[in-house]
Amino acid sequence: MPLISQEEVAHFENMIYLPMVLIILERDRALIEKGSFKLKRPYLELIEGASKHAQRELTDTKIHMRKRQMKVMRGKRDDTFTEYVFYHGGFEDHRRYLNVRLRNRVEELLRVYLAMAYNET
């Protein structure tokens, strides 16, 4: 039996991916504001909506993790892998993620949050 359930791993991974998603959305927003787009508002509204969804989910995840005394910390990193350490229930679980997998999952989540924002318009 695994020490940390798959459900809890999903929360740990939210703490990895969602901050990355928010950073990318913020950088893209800044690029659009500075860019030579004729009509910036639709793009900015889409990014703002996606940010709100991601931020809401990150807040919910932080609350969940605080209640259950869960913590994630980034460990060693090289060109191929990034290690994260999950702390929960007195256990410490070291997991290595391929950097390409991290990037691909963040891209996937960007699509999800942008679609959520688009569907609200």
pLDDT tens profile 27-78: 999 999 999 989 999 999 999 999 999 999 999 999 999 999 999 999 999 9
- Separation between Cα atoms, residue 113 and residue 121, nearest integer Å: 13
Q: Of residues 2 and 8, which shows the higher confidence score?
A: 8
Give 93's DSSP letter. E
Does 119 have pLDDT greater than 60? Answer: yes
For the record, the structure tokens of 82 come out as 């990034």
18/90 Cα distance (integer angstroms): 25
pLDDT band at 2 (very low <50, low <70, confident <90, very high): low
Q: What is the mean pLDDT of the chain?
A: 95
Name 50's Cβ contacts closer than 8 Å, sequence gap at least 6.
25, 110, 113, 114, 116, 117
The SS3 of residue 95 is strand
- The answer, yes or no, to whether residue 24 has pLDDT greater than 60, is yes
Judged against a pLDDT cut of 70, whether residue 1 lies above it is answered with no
